[in-house]
């Protein structure tokens, strides 16, 4: 579920765009083919929920602010030309550029920005990013003010996420925005063939300069081995790859590999509305039953950091003092006995999407070792998501990213997000209250203490069985120039060029 932004500074980008354009002319290459491991479900600018959707939307839309990957990783203006924060920290004023147009030629106005932010905030999928905003208004055609009821230091981190889209188009045909998106970004939507590909073309009127890459094709290739072969034959030029093919691709000098640290996590989710997962001792037993070190070695070829905490170790709010689950099958058996579970015990189906079947097999073996049996059920990705979000499952394993400020992790825990990112279907008033407090607390030390309570509670109640923080692995043609992948590994083709 990715929604963070990272692009080069505006001043640098124009220089890069010009030099990239020259390079593209000299080689004659202006097309790019990118592999996606799953098909998208939607291209809606606010109601998306998966990484593959983010990767396409990032090319079509722009945002008020972006994350500069120059080493400082500070939010900087994008559609906004400048911004100011009031002395009391309650008002954020954004002054918009006057040269930004949507793909249909209409200018981007403050009214469009207000509508986009309000729609984004109302989204059950993405709203947490700017949930602290109490209102937004257009002061004039090029000025927008966001109001908060209490100072919130990470607000600029949240404002990196909402895509800006045309109000008139959305209101004229709300369904069309999901299938025929219009943004103000460097690429225009051309077509989509379900299950096959998505085609974009360059926005030659883009306010930062026309892209060097003129045509993008996103090809749906679910199989990791097929993706690796296609990279080597040149059928595709860029892909996020599975660790299982890393060694093969590293041996090929025509392929460049980049490893990117993220806060995403691999985990086991148990439906707390169903037996026996409503029993905390069963959930704790499952946490102790899993050999995370082995899973990282087998499923990620070591390209992940073992971590049973939903908060990545480099993220605000994490502490080494917070509880970690270790591999202890005997402890798991003791807890199952205390829970009244007589083994062997059938947990039913371990539901997974196609690309998580290897992880499911490792977990199946670990559970079997403590007397818990599961039958792996593999579904096509979007069908799997439907079952996951509707609660039509007992136990599953997958990867998820909840980016931006640590506040975004509330989506995995609070009641309002049952049916979206709260896959455990967990509801607890104390947890809801703790996240309410972190949202309004301005003292950094006190906020860290609140997150400490949250993650200790999450671990003690074993709400999830978090496994590790995987690296994102990108492989691409060595003749393709790709700047640093900053902030959660998001990429922007505008900054790519053929050498």
The pLDDT value given to residue 117? 96
- Quote the strand ranges of 133-263, DSSP E: 133-140, 143-148, 187-193, 197-202, 215-220, 238-240, 255-260
The pLDDT value given to residue 130? 85
The pLDDT value given to residue 158? 87
Mean pLDDT value across residues 88-95 = 95
Domains of the chain: 265-470 (3.10.105.10)
Q: How far apart, in whole angstroms, are the C-alpha atoms of residue 188 and residue 39?
A: 19
Question: Is residue 49 very low, low, confident or very high in pLDDT (cuts 50, 70, 90)?
Answer: confident
Question: Is residue 70 very low, low, confident or very high in pLDDT (cuts 50, 70, 90)?
Answer: low
pLDDT tens, residue by residue, 283-322: 999 999 999 999 999 999 999 999 999 999 989 999 999 9
Q: How far apart, in whole angstroms, are the C-alpha atoms of residue 342 and residue 373?
A: 12
Residue 74 has pLDDT above 50, yes or no: yes
Q: How far apart, in whole angstroms, are the C-alpha atoms of residue 51 and residue 156?
A: 22
The pLDDT value given to residue 302? 93
Q: 203 and 185 in contact (C-beta within 8 Å)?
A: yes
Question: Is residue 81 very low, low, confident or very high in pLDDT (cuts 50, 70, 90)?
Answer: very high
Mean pLDDT value across residues 50-67 = 93
Mean pLDDT value across residues 116-122 = 94
Q: How far apart, in whole angstroms, are the C-alpha atoms of residue 84 and residue 89?
A: 10
Mean pLDDT value across residues 109-121 = 96
Residue 88 has pLDDT above 80, yes or no: yes
Place of tokens 């080494």: 320
The pLDDT value given to residue 75? 84
In this predicted structure, which of 25-29, 143-147, 177-181, 435-439 has the lowest mean pLDDT? 25-29
Mean pLDDT value across residues 191-217 = 97
Question: Is residue 73 very low, low, confident or very high in pLDDT (cuts 50, 70, 90)?
Answer: low
Question: Is residue 151 very low, low, confident or very high in pLDDT (cuts 50, 70, 90)?
Answer: confident
The mean predicted confidence, pLDDT, of the chain is: 90
Give residues with Cβ within 8 angstroms of 327, minimum separation 6.
288, 290, 291, 292, 293, 294
- Which has more pLDDT, 99 or 123? 99
The pLDDT value given to residue 471? 92
Q: 282 and 276 in contact (C-beta within 8 Å)?
A: yes
Give residues with Cβ within 8 angstroms of 488, minimum separation 6.
2, 4, 6, 260, 262, 263, 264, 401, 403, 472
Percent of the chain clearing pLDDT 90 (strictly above) = 79
Place of tokens 């202006």: 30
Report the 10 Å Cβ neighbour count for 14.
Answer: 13
pLDDT tens, residue by residue, 444-486: 899 999 999 999 999 999 999 999 999 999 999 999 999 877 6
Question: Is residue 16 very low, low, confident or very high in pLDDT (cuts 50, 70, 90)?
Answer: very low
The pLDDT value given to residue 69? 63
Mean pLDDT value across residues 310-335 = 96
The pLDDT value given to residue 71? 54
Continuous H helices in 271-402 = 280-289, 292-299, 329-338, 357-369, 381-390
CA-to-CA separations, 484 to 134, 319, 474, in angstroms, rounded = 35, 28, 11
Residue 250 has pLDDT above 50, yes or no: yes
């Amino acid at each position: 579920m990715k929604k963070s932004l990272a692009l080069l500074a505006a001043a640098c980008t124009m220089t890069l765009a010009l030099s990239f354009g020259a390079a593209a002319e000299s080689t004659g290459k202006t097309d790019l083919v990118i592999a996606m491991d799953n098909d998208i479900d939607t291209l809606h600018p606010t109601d998306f929920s998966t990484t593959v959707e983010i990767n396409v939307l990032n090319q079509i839309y722009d945002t008020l602010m972006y994350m500069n990957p120059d080493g400082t990783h500070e939010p900087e203006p994008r559609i906004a030309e400048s911004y100011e924060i009031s002395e009391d920290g309650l008002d954020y004023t954004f002054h918009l550029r006057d040269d930004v147009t949507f793909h249909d030629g209409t200018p981007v106005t403050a009214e469009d920005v207000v509508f986009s932010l309000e729609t984004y905030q109302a989204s059950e999928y993405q709203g947490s990013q700017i949930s602290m905003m109490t209102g937004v208004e257009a002061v004039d055609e090029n000025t927008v003010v966001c109001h908060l009821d209490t100072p919130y230091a990470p607000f600029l981190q949240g404002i990196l996420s909402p895509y800006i889209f045309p109000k008139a188009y959305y209101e004229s045909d709300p369904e069309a925005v999901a299938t025929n998106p219009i943004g103000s970004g460097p690429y225009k939507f051309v077509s989509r063939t379900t299950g096959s590909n998505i085609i974009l073309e360059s926005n030659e009127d883009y306010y930062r300069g026309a892209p060097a890459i003129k045509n993008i094709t996103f090809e749906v290739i679910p199989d990791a081995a097929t993706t690796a072969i296609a990279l080597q034959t040149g059928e595709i030029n860029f892909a996020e790859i599975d660790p299982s093919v890393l060694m093969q691709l590293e041996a090929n000098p025509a392929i460049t590999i980049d490893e990117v640290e993220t806060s995403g996590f691999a985990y086991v989710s148990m439906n707390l509305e169903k037996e026996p997962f409503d029993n905390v001792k069963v959930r704790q037993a499952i946490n102790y039953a899993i050999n995370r070190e082995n899973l990282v070695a087998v499923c990620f070829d070591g390209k992940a950091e073992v971590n049973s905490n939903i908060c990545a170790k480099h993220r605000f709010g994490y502490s080494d003092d917070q509880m970690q689950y270790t591999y202890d099958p005997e402890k798991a058996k003791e807890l199952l006995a205390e829970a009244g579970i007589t083994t062997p015990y059938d947990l039913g189906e371990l539901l997974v999407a196609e690309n998580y079947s290897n992880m499911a097999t490792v977990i199946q073996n670990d559970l079997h070792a403590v007397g818990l049996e599961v039958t792996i059920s593999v579904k096509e990705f979007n069908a799997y998501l439907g079952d996951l979000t509707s609660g039509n499952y007992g136990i599953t394993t997958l990867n998820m990213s909840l980016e931006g400020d640590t506040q975004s992790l509330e989506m995995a825990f609070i009641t309002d997000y049952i049916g979206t990112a709260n896959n455990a279907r967990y509801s607890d008033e104390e947890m809801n209250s703790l996240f309410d407090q972190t949202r309004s607390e301005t003292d950094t030390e006190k906020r860290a203490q609140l997150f400490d309570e949250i993650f200790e509670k999450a671990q003690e109640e074993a709400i999830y069985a978090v496994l590790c923080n995987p690296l994102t692995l990108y492989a691409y043609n060595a003749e393709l120039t790709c700047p640093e992948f900053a902030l959660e590994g998001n990429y922007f083709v505008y900054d790519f060029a053929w050498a």
